[in-house]
Amino acid sequence: MYAIVEIAGQQFKVEKDQRYYVHQLDGKEGDKVVFDNVLLLDDKGKISVGAPAVKGAQVTAKIEQHLKGDKVIVFKKKRRKGYAVKNGHRQRFSEISIQSISTKVAKKAVEAKKEEPAPKAKVAPKAKPAAAPKAKAAAPKAAPKKVEAKKDSEVKSTAKKAAPKKAAPKKAAPKKDK
C-alpha cells in the first residue's frame, strides 16, 4: 500500500515504515503529524485518485528529528565593475517516518452516502414587488463630443521622424614604445 501525499507544498510517494526528509514541519521531535491531503491511494492494486484529494484518507507520521541540509553558497559577480556578493543558505528539514496509511474514514463515508435519501427539489423564492421608479436628475446629461478621424496623410505628416544616428568616430589606440 502506498499513497501520494502533499507535505509542506511538495508531493511525496509514501509507504508505511519508510523515512522521508521534508521541509521543516511545525512540531517537536517525537510528535505525530496527520496529513489529510492524500492525492492518490493504492490499496493492493485498487487505485483511488482524488479530485483534488481522496476523501477520508489520512497518512500518520512521526517527526524523528529536525536538521539542516548542506550549505549552499550563492556568489554573484560582474567582472570589471567591482561588484561581488556572497550569500549562504542551509535548508531546514524534518525527518519523518510513516506510521500508517488509513482509509477507514473513506469507507464509512461511502456507506453513509448510499444510505442518504435523494435530495429534495429546490423551491423557487417568491418574487419581490417592483420598486417605485426613481426621480430623474434635473440637469440633462451633456452630449458626447464628436471627434473627427484624421486622414492617413495628416497622421504621417504630424508624426515625428527619428533622425538617423551617426556613428561615433573610432579613436586610434596609442602606440607603445619599446
Provide the domain limits for residue 102.
Answer: 2-115
Identity at 31, one-letter amino acid code: D
Is the full-model pTM beyond 0.75?
A: no
Please give the full DSSP string across 123-139, using - where no structure is assigned. Answer: PPPPPPPPPPPPPPPSS
What's the rounded Cα separation, in Å, for the pair 2 and 52? 17
- Does 168 fall in a domain? no
- Does 11 fall in a domain? yes
- Does 21 fall in a domain? yes
- Does 72 fall in a domain? yes
pLDDT confidence tier of residue 119, bands split at 50, 70 and 90: low
The number of distinct structural domains making up the chain is 1
Dihedral pair phi/psi, residue 98, rounded to 5°: -80, 125
- Does 162 fall in a domain? no
Quick: pLDDT tens for 29-53: 999 999 999 999 998 889 999 999 9
